[in-house]
Amino acid sequence: MTIHIGAKNGEIAETVLMPGDPYRAKWAAETFLQDACLVNDVRGMLGFTGSWNGNPVTIQGSGMGMPSLSIYANELIRDFGAKTLIRIGSCGGMQKTVGLRDVILAMTATTAGSPSDTIFKEVNFAPCADWSLLQAAARAAEARDVTTHVGGIYSSDTFYDERPDLNEQMVRHGILGVEMEAAELYTLAARYGCRALAVLTVSDHLQTGEALPSDQRERSFGDMVEIALEAAFA
């Protein structure tokens, strides 16, 4: 048990999927895990542990933004022994070649700032995904015939963005999509010698203004969860 995670020793699996929304964690656990049990509800940030194809899995909400994710990822790794952490969430498409419902596998995660900045001082650390997870996720997505893009994303702690010039530079430099957590997850995984990956569903698009209706999101998010699970145990 930690300050933010009320699970007991042994209740958190070494493989953890991390959606931002705690209710998405509940939906994913009930939909994809066998014998899923609630192991955390501190501050309403729900976490469940069950099994997938006989493999123990925890699905723990991370909250929105890198500061929130940093709290949960730190405690999951340091106090509960998590070894593989996969973010599953939505993102905004930034390239015209990226469509709604597409899946993005984040090879790298650019950011303007994260909770780890004070450690690196003048160095611009380059957070990246674990290669084995990235490769396995790409294979799983191809097998499921899911339109998938592999490349760099942008992790921002500003949801209501007022820097269109910054977004323009992200697009110019080939960034596929924008979300709010992956860069810090990748940095923490590197620090502690863990595996990390972000598997993201494009739910809206910054260039076209399109957005996926809520009643059409579940099927697309289901592909994302299954890709993450297959990658974790490939």
Is position 172 annotated in a ligand binding site? no
Residues 34 and 57: their CA atoms lie apart, in Å, by 10
Is position 122 annotated in a ligand binding site? no
Is position 157 annotated in a ligand binding site? no
Q: Is 204 a catalytic residue?
A: yes
Is position 205 annotated in a ligand binding site? no
Residues 81 and 96: their CA atoms lie apart, in Å, by 40
Is position 165 annotated in a ligand binding site? no
Which one of 21, 41, 79, 204 is the catalytic residue?
204
Is position 173 annotated in a ligand binding site? no
Is position 179 annotated in a ligand binding site? yes
Cβ contact 152:110 at 8 Å? yes
**At CA 35, angle to CA 73 and CA 188, rounded to 5?**
10
Do the bridges between strand 148-155 and strand 177-179 make them parallel or antiparallel, or are there none, so unpaired? parallel
Copy the structure tokens of residue 150.
């592999």
At residue 190, the 3 state secondary structure works out as helix
Residues 190 and 221: their CA atoms lie apart, in Å, by 27
Is position 11 annotated in a ligand binding site? no
Is position 90 annotated in a ligand binding site? yes
What phi, psi does 165 have (nearest 5°)? -65, -35
- Residues at the annotated binding site for phosphate? 20, 24, 43, 87-90
Annotated binding site for a purine D-ribonucleoside: 4, 179-181, 203-204
Provide the annotated active-site residues.
Answer: 204
Binding residues: 4, 20, 24, 43, 87-90, 179-181, 203-204
